Structure 1
Amino acid sequence: MAQNEKGGAVFITGASGGIGFEAVRRLAGMDYRVFAGFRDPSYSKKLASIGKNVVPVQIDITDPVSVQSAAKTVTEALGPRGLSGLVNNAGTIVQGPLELLSIEEIKQQFDINVFGQIAVTQAFLPLLRKQSGRIVNIGAVTGKTAMPFIGALSASKHALEAVTDALRVELQPWNIQVSIIEPAAIGTNIFNKAAVTAKLSLDRVQADKRKLYDQAISTVNASFAKQPVSKTDVVVDAIVHALTANRPRTRYAVGRGARLVVLLSRFPDRIVDRLLSSSLGLTKASRPQSGSPVHSQATGKH
């Protein structure tokens, strides 16, 4: 019988989003008591309407006070009991060429996708120790194979891979299993939000700098729009397995093409570069003009 099959308590961040919301519904249907973490107050009633097993908890994972307040709320609700699982699902996507992103945007990417995950884990570990609970981090295939034009996202998910690896060993004395799920493209609204934010960001960049990347951005965006997407179910299935299996996997590559992208990380760098450029259509995109700064840097001519 699975260790955490029924009757446990789980805290999920990012519960108002596609993957988080479906995970809350699935786990509540399995008789878990689900503490559903959300940032926007307007989602509280929607989460509560899922069922009596769902307890909405407001949390901003980038705000230490909010994180501690959420942990206190859950602790008081559980009494002497602990948590069976923590699902670090909250995340965001910052996209665009690294040269054109502001340092503030890159910091925001890490604040949410890395530092916020660590802060939540630290705050809820006392509750997880009581039950020898489990931690499930939601990463991405880009954490194994970095993608151009979403370099900030790739870097943050790569960092989360390292955090997961370290926690897995550090928490062995308390029998706390730690897994990371590495989804490929999933059909949620996060990509649309990222595209809108990226456009607003690029509009603030100097025209001459933006022009250096215009064609490449257009080509990559077209390639991303055509990529196959999987349903949220594949991620939720992995979350459930990681929380309930007697021997959960340390990593779950899920979604169409996920295993292939992860496998690419084992190839020589130059081969990966060529394969990514080809698959994204960048090999067909025209190069910058010979007099441009990018060309001068690439060729070493000044």
Structure 2
Amino acid sequence: MGTTAEDTGRVAGKTVLITGVSTGIGFAIAEDLMQRGYLVCGAVRRLADADGLVTRWGQAFVPLVFDVTDRTALNQAVTQVDEVLGGRYLAALINNAGIGPSAPLLMQPEEEIRKIFDVNVFGLLAVTRAFLPALGARSGGTGPKGRVINMGSVSGVMTLPFMGAYSSSKHAVEAVGQALRRELKFMGIDVTTIEPGFIRTAMFEKTRTELKNDRYANSDYGPMWQRFTAMLMQQESKAAPMSVVLEAVRHALESTRPRIRYPLDKAWHIGRWMPDRAFDKALFRMLGVNAK
């Protein structure tokens, strides 16, 4: 998955917008692209995070303080980015912001499920619609049209128990990406989806903290939930390095022919092609479920 000399020629003087850059994958993508010569407009939710990143990254970084679910703040960010662009087009919008607390779907608080969809789906769509003119869905701009790069997940093609809400949102991201790709192609705007599995980031510390509360340990799901959380924590040692995501982002951004999707985990292929009942049987065995 390399880039050619022609591809890397796209980099000079380019500006990208990335949501969710304060930690994890978004932070790593922003830092990598700045090292490659991009100006990064990065969205964070707190002013304190923005100040810290400006101190770290300097003039290569333009902080945007908004939550993807806050339409008023989003509109203000559009104005800010337009001023930075000065009539040029964005090279790319990278929709990275996302959340995904785990829980039995029948017991997860409704407001938590709605929050997952507000951020992962409706927020992604709102940001994309808001910045489409800056990407090239308007006349009069200068430079090549931009690209939309959505951060999906292996959970967009396979659903594990206790990850129903998150997985449903990532299935929706798949559908949104497909629709946008087919609706924006005539404008010259490419849309692609990157689909990682477990990536070695600080997310595991956050997940470990969330799971320690054992809020479902005393429910009917107790034994199954405990096996699930143990299985999830075991993935930390098997997580892929951040470099696999960074390489995919570079290709999606710089290649003259970006892929429609970038599956980055073998589980993606298992989830897509393995028969459901065979997959169920393997899962039930791992979770200690006696399924006749």
Same fold (TM over 0.5): yes
1:245 is aligned with what amino acid?
S
1:219 is aligned with what amino acid?
R
Local SS of the residue matching 1:230 = coil
Q: Select the structure of larger CA radius of gyration.
A: 1
Q: Contact conserved, 2:252 with 2:259, CA < 8 A, in 1?
A: yes
CA–CA distance in structure 1, aligned partners of residues 267 and 207 of structure 2 = 24
Trace 1:75-224 onto structure 2 (pairs within 5 A).
Answer: 75-129=82-136, 130=141, 131-197=144-210, 203=215, 210-224=218-232
Q: Contact conserved, 1:145 with 1:262, CA < 8 A, in 2?
A: no
Q: Contact conserved, 1:139 with 1:182, CA < 8 A, in 2?
A: yes
Which residue matches 2:248? 238
Which residue matches 1:57? 64
Q: Contact conserved, 1:135 with 1:178, CA < 8 A, in 2?
A: yes
C-alpha displacement at 1:154, in angstroms? 0.6
Which residue matches 1:13? 19
Local SS of the residue matching 1:211 = coil
C-alpha displacement at 1:195, in angstroms? 4.5
CA–CA distance in structure 1, aligned partners of residues 253 and 203 of structure 2 = 24
CA–CA distance in structure 2, aligned partners of residues 90 and 147 of structure 1 = 21
C-alpha displacement at 1:151, in angstroms? 1.0
C-alpha displacement at 1:36, in angstroms? 1.1
Local SS of the residue matching 2:30 = helix
CA–CA distance in structure 2, aligned partners of residues 264 and 197 of structure 1 = 26
Which residue matches 2:3? none
C-alpha displacement at 1:193, in angstroms? 2.5
CA–CA distance in structure 1, aligned partners of residues 135 and 209 of structure 2 = 37
Deviating beyond 6 angstroms after TM superposition, the runs of 4 or more aligned structure 1 residues are none
What TM-score comes out, normalization by structure 2 length? 0.89
C-alpha displacement at 1:32, in angstroms? 0.9
Q: Contact conserved, 1:18 with 1:232, CA < 8 A, in 2?
A: no
1:68 is aligned with what amino acid?
N
Alpha-carbon displacement from aligned partner over 1:210-241 (angstroms, at most 9, x marks no partner): 42011111001111111211122211111111
Which residue matches 2:10? 4
Question: 27, 37, 44: which one pairs with 2:43?
Answer: 37
Instruction: Please say if 1:252 is aligned against 2:262.
Output: yes
CA–CA distance in structure 2, aligned partners of residues 164 and 120 of structure 1 = 13
Moved more, 12-21 or 261-270: 261-270
Alpha-carbon displacement from aligned partner over 1:114-137 (angstroms, at most 9, x marks no partner): 000000000000000144100100
- Percent identity (aligned): 39
Instruction: Please say if 1:23 is aligned against 2:13.
Output: no
C-alpha displacement at 1:199, in angstroms? 5.3
C-alpha displacement at 1:265, in angstroms? 1.8
Local SS of the residue matching 2:209 = helix
CA–CA distance in structure 1, aligned partners of residues 190 and 27 of structure 2 = 23
CA RMSD between the two structures: 1.9
Which consecutive residues of structure 2, in runs of 5 or more, have no partner in the other structure? 1-5
Local SS of the residue matching 1:180 = strand
What TM-score comes out, normalization by structure 1 length? 0.86
Q: Contact conserved, 2:44 with 2:67, CA < 8 A, in 1?
A: yes
Q: Contact conserved, 2:204 with 2:233, CA < 8 A, in 1?
A: no
Q: Contact conserved, 2:211 with 2:229, CA < 8 A, in 1?
A: no
C-alpha displacement at 1:111, in angstroms? 0.6
Count residues in correspondence.
277
Local SS of the residue matching 2:58 = coil
Q: Contact conserved, 2:198 with 2:240, CA < 8 A, in 1?
A: yes
**Alpha-carbon spacing, 1:104–1:159, altered in 2? closer, same or farther (3 Å):** same
**Alpha-carbon spacing, 1:77–1:261, altered in 2? closer, same or farther (3 Å):** closer
